[in-house]
Amino acid sequence: MKIIYDLKNISNNNYAVATIGTFDGIHLGHQKLLNTVVEYSKKNNFESVVLTFDPHPRDILRPNEPRQTIITTLNEKLELFEFYGIDKVYIIPFTAELSKLNYEEFLQKYLIELCKVKYLVIGYDHSFGKSREGKFDTLTKAGIKFGFTVEQVNQVYFKNFVVKSSLIRDSLRDGNIDLVNNLLGRNYQISGEIIHGDKRGKELGFPTANIKINDSQKLIPKNGIYFVKVKLNNKTHFGLLSVGTLPTFYNEHNVVVEVYLFNFSQDIYNEELTIYLVKFIREQKKFNSISELITAMKEDKQLGLKIIENEYSQKKLI
């Protein structure tokens, strides 16, 4: 897959099947879009192309509000675009000037001149350009004029839920990891560097790796204990993730993200790892004593080991 950050002086002689959007989450709805793009590109021997934005448009359009929390970082999105078979990704810098372009100007500059689009695939509620005028009907008319076809992908449902990024964000904040993973079609992931903590876990018999999250805008799920899979140095481990403010030890504290790996004792400071959230175990709790906390941690571990026993075969562990 070719990734293009610098959009100046781009020479492109290939026709494209394209889609455009922020794609935060690459959830089941986004995946349907991407699969349609790839399918049409193969049928017509065109390039499959994604145009996406960085930073998140909301950060530019609402500068006085807190920055948008994100489900997928740019690097995670790029990995997923490649996984779904996209040939080329254009990273469009989202600026105040860009937000002022009407849909015809945007269409001409980015889709017609840059991509040479022949098929444009959009979601059921997608629109772009100033005042969001670039909707399905107006784009269809523009397609007749400029020689491209617009395909609109219908809503995607999981049970009674419309699959949407906003629902995934809300569910992460609620700790509803089962729903999040079903909406994503994969386990929610966070990545970061292992840093030194206060070493309380080691003192309690549960040595943990404190994680510095790679992207400050990455949405950290609700405080609590989670059963997780961890990818470290190309190997998969299982363990427990703790997200919380350490209430047993402190009245006030920043949120700490730390992971305890089962049957693991190596020194891994400064290593990078990726954590995949599988199940929510319990809420964060302030315990009356250290012994109560240790008892709860032992119970958490037993629950985690039971999940491995019930849901993961030996083949999956490798």
Residue 10 identity: I
Is-contact 271 194, C-beta < 8 A? yes
Q: Which residues are catalytic?
A: 258
Rounded-to-integer distance, Cα 136 and Cα 124, Å: 8
**Peptide bond preceding 207 in cis form (omega within 30 of 0):** no
